[in-house]
A and B are shown apart, each in its own frame.
With several copies, the nearest count.
Chain A
Amino acid sequence: MYLDNSATTQVSEEVFEEMKPYFTEEFGNPSTLYKIGRESKKALDQARQRVADAINAKPEEIIFTGGGSESDNLAIKGIAFKFLNQGKHIITTEFEHPAVKETLAYLESLDFKVTYLPVYENGIIKVEDLKEAITDDTILITIMHGNNEIGTIQPIEEIGEIAREKGIIFHTDAVQTFGKIEVDVEKLNVNLLSLSSHKINGPKGVGALYIKKGTRVIPLIHGGGQERGIRAGTENVAGIVGFGKACELASEQLEEHHEKLSAIRDELIEKVLGTIPESYVNGDMEQRLPNLVNFRFKAIEGESLILLLDAQGYQASTGSACSSNKLEASPVLTALGLDPVDVHGSLRISLAPESDAFDVDEFVETLAGAVSRLREMSPLWNQ
Chain B
Amino acid sequence: MDYSEKVMDHFANPRNCRKMEDANGVGTVGNPTCGDLMTIYIKVNDDDVIEDISFQTFGCGAAIATSSMITEIAVGKTVEEALKISRNDVAEELDGLPPVKMHCSNLAADGLQAAIENYRENNQ
Contact = CB atoms under 8 A, between A and B. Distances in A.
Interface of A: 33, 38, 41, 299-301, 303-304, 307-308, 311, 320-323, 325, 327, 329, 340-341, 344, 376-380
A340 B58 contact: no
A380 B36 CA distance: 10
B115 interface: no
B33 A379 contact: no
A33 B58 contact: no
B59 interface: yes
A379 B37 CA distance: 7
B12 A311 contact: yes
A304 B35 contact: no
A322 B60 contact: yes
Nearest to A303: B60
B17 interface: yes
> Which 4 pairs between the two chains have the least Cβ-Cβ distance?
A322-B60, A303-B60, A379-B56, A340-B33
B11 A377 contact: no
Contacts of A301: 35-36, 58-60, 63
B43 to A, nearest CB: 18
B64 interface: yes
A304 B100 contact: no
6 contacts: A38-B2, A311-B12, A378-B57, A379-B37, A379-B38, A380-B37
B35 A377 contact: no
A307 B9 CA distance: 11
Contacts of A327: 34-35, 100, 103
B57 A323 contact: no
Contacts of A38: 1-2
Among B39, B57, B60: residue with most chain A CB under 10 A:
B60
A299 B38 CA distance: 12
Contact of B17 (A307, A320, A322, A376): A376
A322 B35 contact: yes
Contacts of A329: 33-35
B38 to A, nearest CB: 7
A321 B59 CA distance: 10
Interface string B80-121: 000000000000000000001001000000000000000000
Contacts of B28: 379
Given A307-B8, A308-B12, 5 more contacts: A38-B1, A301-B36, A304-B11, A304-B59, A304-B63
Nearest to B57: A377
B58 A378 contact: yes
A303 B65 CA distance: 13
Nearest to B17: A377
Contact of B33 (A303, A323, A341): A341
B58 A380 contact: yes
B76 interface: no
Contacts of A304: 11, 59-61, 63-64
B98 to A, nearest CB: 9
Nearest to B11: A307
Nearest to A326: B100
A344 B57 CA distance: 13
Contact of B35 (A320, A325, A379): A320
Nearest to B38: A379
Interface in B40-66: 56-64
A120 B3 CA distance: 37
A38 to B, nearest CB: 6
B39 A379 contact: yes
A311 B14 CA distance: 15
A33 B60 CA distance: 12
B12 A341 contact: no
Given A303-B60, A322-B63, A325-B100, A380 B32 contact: yes
Contacts of B63: 301, 304, 322
Contacts of B37: 378-380
A313 to B, nearest CB: 14
Contacts of B61: 303-304, 307
Contacts of A376: 17
